[in-house]
Chains A and B, each alone.
Chain A
Amino acid sequence: MPRSLWNGTIAFGMVRVPVKLYSATESKAVRFRERHCTDGAAIEHRRVCVQEGREVPYGETVKGFEVSSGSFVTLSKEEIAAADGPGAHMIEIEHFAGREEIDPVYYDRAYRLGPGKLGDESYLLLHAALKRSDRVGIGRFVFHNKAHLVALRALEDVIALHTMRFADELVPAGDLDMPTPQRKPSKPEVTAARALLDQLSASFQPEEYEDTYRAALLELIERKARGETIAAPEPVQIAPEDDLLGALQASLKRQGRSPRTKTKKSKTNRSSSGKKVVAGSSR
C-alpha cells in the first residue's frame, strides 16, 4: 500500500467521509542530476547569505515576502499556516457538475482517495452516488499551504481527486498576439482538411501510446557510456510552401493507401515520410 500524502474529511452535505489521499501518477521520465562538465563532479546546492558570503544552515533562515524592493516582511511557519484556517483538513463539496463541462485546461494533478479511519461505509456511499449520478463534486482543498479547486469523481472502484486551477490562473487567449491570416481558408481546403481529420479519427486507447523517446534516450546514454561519439542531429528540413490544398490532398492519398498501420510505421521511420510542406515562408 502506498503512503498517504494527506488525511482529511470530505463534507458531503451533512455526511462526513474520512479520507486519505494518494498520488495517482508517477513520472517515468529519465532522471538526470546536475554534474560539473569539466570534471564530472557532483554539484551541490548551497544556501549562501548574500551579505556575509557564507553558507547558512536551514535553521538560521526565515521566510520573507518582499513588500517593496529589498524590504521584506518575515513570516514564521505558523503565521503562514494561519491562512489555512480551521477548515484545512476539510474538503467541502460545494456543487456538483457534469464532467464534460470542465475544460481540460483546469486540471492540474491527479490523486486517488481511499477511506480514512471508520470511513469505509460513507466512502462507499459517496462513491456509489457519484457513479450513479454521473456527476463530479466541486470543492476546495488546502494542501501544502496552497488552496486548490478540486473535482471529485468515481473512477473504477475508488474516488479520484483532481486539483484544478482557479479561473484567474488561466491566461486568456486574447493576451497573446495572434497573427491573423490575410486570406481565409477556401472551401476546398476546408473540405480536404475535414476529410483528413475524419480519416485519422479513432477512439482513444491510452495503452497504445508509449514513450518512445525514453527508450531512444537510454540507448543513446548506453552508446555514450561505451565511448561512442554522438553525431549532432541533422537539422530538420522544412521547406516553405503555401499550397495548403496540395499538401492536404497528398496526405489524403498517402493515408488512403495504408490507413491504420501507416501511422504506427511513420513513428519509427520519420525521416523518410516524404516531403513536408510548410505554410508560409517562415524559416
Chain B
Amino acid sequence: MPRPLWSGSLSFGLLNVPVTLHSATRDRDVHFQLLHAPDCSPIETRRVCATEEKPVPWPEIARGYELDDGSWVLLTDEDLQAAAPRQSRTIDIERFVEVAEIDPVYFDRSYLLVPADEGAARAYALLSETMLDSGKAALGRFVLRAKERLVGIRVRDGALTLTTMLFGDEVRSAAEISAEIEGAKPTREQVQSAVAVIEELSVEFDPTRYRDEHRAHLKRIIKRKQQGKKIAAPVAAAEEPVTSAPDLMGALEESLARIRGETKKPKKAAPRARSHARSR
C-alpha cells in the first residue's frame, strides 16, 4: 500500500479513530518530459539561490511570506504546525448533513480514510456503519499542507471517503456573469420542447460509460510518431459563422425528430460518437 498522505485521527465526539489518508484518485494523464531540442537530453529544473548563484538542496528551501514593506518572513514546518497544532493532527467532525444539501461547487479533491491499525478498525466500523445507516455526511475540518480544509466525509464502497471542500468565500459570485446576459426569455413552448429533449436523453448516471478518448488518441499519436509516421496537423473546425439569432424552435423540433427517429431503430443506445473519435 502506498505511503499515506497524512495520518492522524478522526474525532467524533470524544471518540478518536486513528486513520491514514490516501488519494481517492489517480493520475492517468499522458505526461511529457521537457527535453533539450538538439540532442533530446532530459532537462531538469534546478532550484538556484538568486544571490549566491548556486543550486540549493531541498532541505534549505524555506517558505517565505512577503510583508507589505517588501521584507520577507521565513517559516518552518514547525511554525506552520504551531498556528493550529490540533487541527494538523485531527479531523474534528462538527456536524452531520444531507449530502444532497452540499452544492457540488464546494467539492474539491477526494481521499480515502483507512483505519490506522486493527485496534482502530472497530471504531472505524462503528462510525461508518452509523453513517451509512443515516445516509448522512460528516462535516469537519483539518489542516493539510498548510491550509485548513473543510471536509465532507461519507461512506462509499465500504470506505470512509473524504472530500475537501472550499470555504464560502472561495466561491465567486455569479452576479457579474448573469448581469451581462441580455435577450428575450425563452417562450413556454421552447422550454417545453427543450425539456422534452432532456427527457429523451435522460439516463441513470453511469460513469463507466464515458471513456477518455482524448487520452487514448494521444497515445496512438505517440505510437505513430514512434513508427516514424507523420502526424497531420489538427484541422481547425470550420467555424459556422454566427450572423443572426438562431431558430431555436426549429432546432428543438429537429432534435426531437432525430432522437426519436434514432431510438426507433433496433441498434439504439450509442449516443453519436464524438466526431474526432470517428475521424481516425
Contact = CB atoms under 8 A, between A and B. Distances in A.
B105 A142 contact: no
Contact of B22 (A65, A123, A176): A176
Contacts of B185: 124, 128
A167 B205 CA distance: 12
Contact of A73 (B181, B222, B255): B222
B119 A242 contact: yes
Nearest to A160: B105
Interface in A139-185: 140, 142, 145-147, 149, 151, 155-158, 160, 162, 164-174, 176-185
A195 to B, nearest CB: 10
B63 interface: yes
B35 A61 contact: yes
Interface residues of B, number: 193
B176 to A, nearest CB: 6
Contacts of B198: 96, 129-130, 133, 135, 137
Interface string A16-33: 101000111111111111
A276 B253 CA distance: 65
A26 B99 CA distance: 23
Contacts of A162: 104-105
A255 B14 CA distance: 10
A18 B242 contact: yes
B14 A275 contact: yes
Contacts of B207: 106, 149, 164, 166-167
Contacts of A110: 104-105, 107, 171
B13 A196 contact: yes
Contacts of B5: none
Nearest to A1: B176
B32 A65 contact: yes
Highest count of chain B CB atoms <10 Å: which of A51, A66, A73, A75:
A73
Given A190-B129, A221-B75, 6 more contacts: A43-B47, A88-B276, A118-B243, A155-B105, A179-B121, A213-B148
